Chains A and B, each alone.
Chain A
Amino acid sequence: MSTATRNTSARRHPAAPGARTAAGAIIAVACLLVAGCGSKPAPSASLPAAPASPPLTTSFATANGASWTVVEMGGSAAQEDNFWQVFVRQTATAGWRQVTPLGVADNGGLVVASPGSGSLVTAFRPSQLLTYTPLAASTDNGAKWSSAGPLNASLASAADALAAGPNGQLIALTSGGTKAELGQQLGTTWSRLATVSSLNATPPGRACQVTGLTAAAFSASTPLVAASCGRPGVAGIFADTGGTWHAAGPRVSGDTVDVLALAASGSGLVALLRATTGTSASIIGAWYTGGRWTLSAPLRIGAGKLGSTALGPAGSMGVTWNAVKGATLAGPGKAWQTLPALPKQAATLALGSQVEAIVANSQTFRDYQLASGGWSLAQTLHVQIPYGSSG
């Protein structure tokens, strides 16, 4: 009976069931293959790459010989075992000493600003579950700190994301460099200074096509912000005079120009610029004195990874890149001097009375001085790193 039943079914639908079954099975297998190949998503349309943020590692030396440097020490950042440190040297001949402010985990980085005369303001960039920015202030080059602020936002990642001006004024770049806040009384109160959008709504901003804010400074009591420009040939430095933004930067050849460092220098300004053409970058020193900008010749670093920036007295500046390469610029009108290969794990240069290379790794801080075409170890400090304390 079951055989007859089967044959009857076959007569009514001679080949359709089998063909349908086969077709359905083939479609199923095809779907399986397509799914199983694990197709990757279509590549997104190419977008212009945002310029890399200016490095946090930096140093600054004043005309009277006082210097400070910010370097990363400890272990893995992924495991919250990296701890940023601040070192200060009060005079050109004194040794370095560790003055890292206490009381806040600094795995996210430190940014130091100085209004001069031994005063320092340090911002703790947020990390892990801390989302706002505590501040610390010192009037004696970091010997003692007191809490300041806070800044109820996340400070941008740039060595000059914080600027300190007269009378306790501060400028802070926040929200990934899209906003600038103006602080009073060492950050007790804050008000919005600018945003990328508000700058781009101004004539100088449109001329630049601001893509992000990268540095801040005060020229006397005038707030300045610096930016990356999308329009070629423009260095985005803007000054706020009476509530109106004015272009204050030089013209620079190159596809995109971003400002790596900006600081007041005497009655003028100094700036380190990065001009990028394609994938090749050049570093240019810029000085503003007597109402005009002077630019250095470009230092070509190609596709090199910028390690640190350094500003020194008399408009001197320096950069490191690709871990072992460094160059300095003595001042306006001078040429870039390429340095001998930097000591291993050099973090930054320090420009005081002489060129120094700061090596900071794990728990040891070393200061090398350039002499006779080579590096000689001048000072070693052991730093007690609180591994595991941020877990």
Chain B
Amino acid sequence: MNSGLNDNNPTLVAAFRAALLHQGIYVLLIFAILAVAWVSAREWLRPARAARFATPEPAWRQLLRVGFGVIWIFDGLLQAQPAMAAGLPSQVIEPTAASSPAWVQHVVNWAGTTWSYHPIQAGASAVWIQLGIGVWLIAAPRGTWSRLAGLASVAWGLVVWVFGEAFGGIFAPGLTWLFGAPGAALFYCAAGALIALPERTWHSARLGRSVLSALGLFFIGMAVLQAWPGRGFWQGTVHGQQGTLTSMVSSMAGVPQPVILEDWVRSFASFTAAHGFAVNLFAVIALAAIGAGLLSAGLPEVGLRAPAPWLLKATVIAMVVLCLADWVLIEDFGFFGGLGTDPNSMIPMALVVVAGYLALSPAPAVVTEPAVVPEPAGPEPAAAAAEPAVAAAAGSATAEPDAVPRRGWQAQPARLARSFGAASTGAVVAVWAVAIVLLGAAPMALAQTNRTASPIIAQAIDGDSAPMDSKAPAFTLTDQNGKQVSLASLRGKVVLLTFLDPVCTSDCPQIAQEFKGTDQVLGAKSRNVELVAIVANPLYRSTAYTRAFDAEQRLTKVPNWLYLTGSLAQLQQAWKNYAIAADIVPSGGMIAHNDVAYVIDPNGYTRNELDFDPGPGTASSKSSFSVELTNAAERFVRS
């Protein structure tokens, strides 16, 4: 799935930074345009001040909205770390799914492969989508747009939970609350769903009871899992080796982070190794007790008396303390190491629990104050009564009659302008946030329509091609069918030339596939292109071996493929002319030769030299090389 590149490949890092910078400029530009338009609309049109609801947003909703808004923004900033573009699939996504069933890996692999084909677009996309959702949540306190922000949080949270967290690891062995089960992103979804609830749900304590009851059951389930024998959590060490929990904590201590934090985590790892049973016993009891306490909030739903308020409060406080302790000592904050994507599950979980607790005190009913009109206006035959969209984003109602009577469609722009001018600051910021999300999503969606990988991967592996302008050295060699082929006979076509060892075990088969891929990308233009390989092995150079290679690489049916060979003297001359080394390696080694591709134009001039070491030979890198070669060839293809 991955591109196989180093996480901090300088080419990819530079391209990622450039993409973020360019898109950041667009973000600021959009903000500037919106701000100017809004201020102008307010100054020139003097719209009515929007009505305000007397009842403020309930505390639980505000906590979720602002809390998760901040977390999404933080996650977006984490996503902008330099190593993310190249490193996320191989260092985060793939390892997360490694111990999950094959079908989960298959699902996750699709996403990882998609990312690795377009690492820059994918990386930037994740940054802006998460930043946008965060700003949107914070900026839109209530109304349709606020609910939509909640739904956006659910949608992207689901994407992250499935593809980034491999369904939160719930299908893999070793599931434990201590390490983030059932996945942090699921709490983002839960919070988003709660935010998206209609206002009528704010006025019932049932919501809070339901949330706490569900979480109570969850904690009890986690306690049972933690206590389950045979899962390795009861032993700090097993036969001198670290137990399950100890090794998990130790692995977190190994992540690059400030020394003081590393020391804390290592100390806790040592403590766990020595007192594994006690640590797990504490965890089991704590989880069970907290679960029971939270579950008791739902007792009124089954006709029983509600628990004492102090009990529930103490439970919530205990849960918060436990979450914080786990976040520091076991999850190790979750975002260190250069590839941390989020602060893990404890903070989101704690926010949802506290919100559920606050929701036990329902909000009072809504009372609407009439809108305030700044100027008297004449009778309007078509006074607007509907709420414009932008004003509704602020959670306010407006009724602004037009100053001059107009027909319906003629009045629309003015109406929109007044609505926009009447919008609150939060509404405008919310619109901006939506634009940020779209700015992130659109490029990646467009990239998805392209089934080939970005050429940036090939450039990251081998650098840019070197332009040339010299007459291509002539050769006359024998093709795989025994026919004589000269370079001159290929005049009029673009020749893509490389040198391949027919008994190679590593690079050459990959380069052959990249050439084949180039043919596919060229499509109809391939009629004017000849794919030519010359043997690069002084000992295995017969046509029997070129045919064997063609059969192995399924090139026999590619009409414009030529695999040329000749006498040793002829080959050595060709190698010399094209700066190819083909050295015999003793004791069972493969022939050592350089990997290079040349683009020769229809007039017989060499126009490009590309370093064609295939690198990791992944699906994305092979596709990328094909695209790079195609781009180099297309400039000279005669239509």
Contact = CB atoms under 8 A, between A and B. Distances in A.
Nearest to B174: A38
A129 B504 contact: yes
Interface string B174-195: 1100000110000000000000
Given A103-B584, A384-B587, A390-B590, A127 B539 contact: no
B175 A134 contact: no
A1 interface: yes
A47 interface: no
A390 B214 contact: no
State the 7 A-B residue pairs at the shortest beta-carbon distance, nearest first: A38-B173, A386-B589, A103-B539, A18-B301, A83-B588, A106-B588, A105-B590
A364 B504 CA distance: 26
A33 B588 contact: no
Interface size class of A (residues with CB under 8 A): 35 or more
B53 interface: no
A124 interface: yes
A130 B588 contact: no
A85 B588 contact: yes
Interface string A117-130: 00000001011111
Contacts of A131: 552
Interface stretch (B255-263, B395-403, B505-513): B505-513
B540 A25 contact: no
B210 A21 contact: yes
A152 interface: yes
B308 interface: no
Contacts of A83: 587-589
B588 A18 contact: no
B504 A32 contact: no
A132 B231 CA distance: 45
Interface in B73-102: none
Contact of B302 (A19, A80, A129, A145): A19
Given A25-B213, A386-B588, A36 B181 contact: yes
A297 interface: no
A383 interface: yes
Interface stretch (B38-46, B217-225, B272-280, B418-426): B217-225
Nearest to B203: A2
Interface of B: 170-175, 181-182, 203-204, 206, 210, 213-214, 217-218, 220-221, 224-225, 228, 231, 298, 300-303, 362, 365, 503-506, 509-510, 537-542, 544-545, 548, 551-552, 584-592
Interface in A335-377: none
A384 B590 CA distance: 14
A34 to B, nearest CB: 10
B595 to A, nearest CB: 13
A130 B587 contact: no
Given A36-B182, A104-B540, A188-B544, 15 more contacts: A2-B362, A25-B214, A25-B217, A26-B217, A29-B217, A29-B218, A32-B221, A83-B587, A103-B584, A105-B589, A126-B505, A128-B505, A147-B539, A384-B586, A385-B587
A33 B224 contact: yes
Interface of A: 1-2, 5-6, 14-15, 17-19, 21-22, 25-26, 28-29, 32-33, 35-38, 40, 73-74, 80, 83-85, 98, 100, 102-107, 110, 124, 126-132, 134, 145, 147, 149-150, 152, 188, 383-386, 389-391
Contacts of B213: 21-22, 25
A128 B506 contact: yes
Contacts of A5: 204
Contacts of B173: 37-38, 40
